[in-house]
Amino acid sequence: MPNASAADARPDVIGAGILYHCIPEFTEYYDRLRQVGGHIDIVEYLAVHYASDPEYLGEVHRSFGEDMPSSLHSFEYMIGSVDRQSDKVLRRLRRQVELSNCQYIGEHVGLMGTTEVYSGTFLQPFGTDEQTQLFIDNLLDIEANDTAGCPLIIENQSQIYNQIGPRSMCEQISDIAVGADTGILLSLSNFMIAEKHHPMDRERELSSLPLERVWQLHLPIACAAELADPEYAGYRHEEEWARETIEQLFKEPGFRPSAIVFEVQDAGTPSFAEPEHLRDSMDWARELLAKPTP
């Protein structure tokens, strides 16, 4: 049994929420959700959306209520790079944590480039032991220096090409999480993205994860009416797989995440999920989490 201190540090159950994009459509969508009796317990912000004006994140967060728990979705700590992030960016990220009642940061396990040159994306790690140790060392350094101002947890990446090293995607995530004693953001969405490029053995990958370290889940949610169209049957089957998988995971000993966050943007259909569909899905998530619905 791996060291479970990350599980011990995991926040108490927070509930269900959404990954919030800083675009007008999301403000309108949240208003519609409230109109049908929907309630969110946590909001996840994309940190890069507020890079030019971090104080605006505070304004957005106050619209949800200053006591609303949040998490930041990030790739800017460069945990897979030999170069370290600039102090200027680190100060901005810490300010975003302070402005948003941030409980933890979900950081991509990916390659970003160098301090001066951004690659344009977060590249899939290669699965080598050397690289795994680099991730571990960088995470331990961030923790030792309290760089972030709150815990960092790591998100599994989509597989796009063959691994170079001996470890699969989730095996490497497991090695990093145990070595750096950190939590995991388990993204079911990223398994679905990989299906378009380099399908993964999902059962094998999931079985390699230390489930007691999972703090949060990412789950896509699409427009239910459009999923009924044969054109989107593949996305419908994927959403069904994700929900069945989550229900099965909750039967596993030690699997007690703090939050389930739904991804409305780019979920597979042209339209966002109906507010009623999201409301009911969040109630389903709270039931799994044993979190009473407000």
pLDDT digits (tens, 9 = 90+) for 122-177: 777 888 899 999 999 999 999 999 999 999 999 988 777 777 788 888 999 999 99
- The dihedral region occupied by 121, where left means phi > 0, alpha psi between -120 and 50, and beta the remainder, is beta
**Helix (H) or strand (E) segment spanning residue 35:** helix 24-35
Domain boundaries, the chain: 5-289
Whether residue 85 contacts residue 76, with contact meaning beta carbons closer than 8 Å, is answered with: yes
Whether residue 58 contacts residue 97, with contact meaning beta carbons closer than 8 Å, is answered with: no
Q: Which residues pair with 102 in a beta bridge?
A: 70
- pTM, whole model, 2 decimals? 0.93
Closest of 177, 76, 74, 82 to residue 134, by C-alpha: 82
Q: In the predicted model, is pLDDT for residue 188 greater than 50?
A: yes
Confidence class for position 105, pLDDT limits 50, 70, 90? very high
CATH topology of domain 5-289: TIM Barrel (3.20.20)
Q: What is the mean pLDDT of residues 245-258?
A: 95
pLDDT averaged over the chain? 90
